[in-house]
Amino acid sequence: MKCREIIGIIEETYPKTAALSFDNVGLQAGRSEKEVERIYLALDATEAVIRGAIAFHADMLITHHPLIFSPLKAVTDEDFVSRRILELIQNDISYYAMHTNYDVLGMADLAGRILGLRDARVLDVTAEIDGREEGIGRVGGLEKSMPLRECCSYIKDRLSLEHVKVFGDPDREVRRLAVSPGSGKSAVAPAIAKEADVLVTGDIGHHDGLDAWEQGLAVIDAGHYGTEYIFMEDMKHFLENRIAGVEIMTAPVVHPFSVV
């Protein structure tokens, strides 16, 4: 199957028009006419991921985060971003990124299901598609009320994490939970507006966490990677159910930092 045909299948469900205005999604390097027999899936197009794609003899690499986000003035081996683009092209690997279009139409609902949210609603509406509100994150009820410290253990279990960072009183009871996978500073205000007790997200800084808690919202920072690596298996199942004769592999789950 040609790369452009696979892109067509992806964009039937995750159209680029659903992406936020600042984003850069779609085919970023390589040939749209490339015949694809093997696809490698990852969260980021790091050097290790590209080496893994090459070792797998991949014809196509699909990631969540775009490698090319800001404009490039040159593509040479002297820049760490463009060096990866060169490596992809030299190995004839077509590279496709699906970021906020997947966040809006896939990641948000997936995260809500994984965390067991009941009566889940869109947290931050960004579009109306086919008469439905769509957007970033979900907010809904947990099965039962629990102390914040227990909620931390619940999140670690559901997302298979070793640790999380928390802002708030560990003894406070929480029941209504908002989740915004990835970088969630902008999700604080919508979570407060939707009367969430706790927000699960990533990349929360010192002042962001303190300010949220001052407004009555506890925050569990489960990490940018920790809340988004679920993309890989989800897209693997999506493609396997729609594409025949193509072998698909996900990059290993490797958290980008450790707490020591």
Residue 99 tokens, joined: 């970021």
Instruction: Encode pLDDT of 55-112 as tens digits.
Output: 999 999 999 999 999 889 999 999 999 999 999 999 999 999 999 999 999 999 999 9
Model pTM above 0.95: yes
Q: Sort strands 218-221 and 165-167 into parallel, antiparallel or unpaired.
A: antiparallel
Through-space distance between the first and last CA atoms of the chain, rounded to whole angstroms:
46
Instruction: Encode pLDDT of 140-151 as tens digits.
Output: 999 999 999 999
Residues 42 and 253: their CA atoms lie apart, in Å, by 9
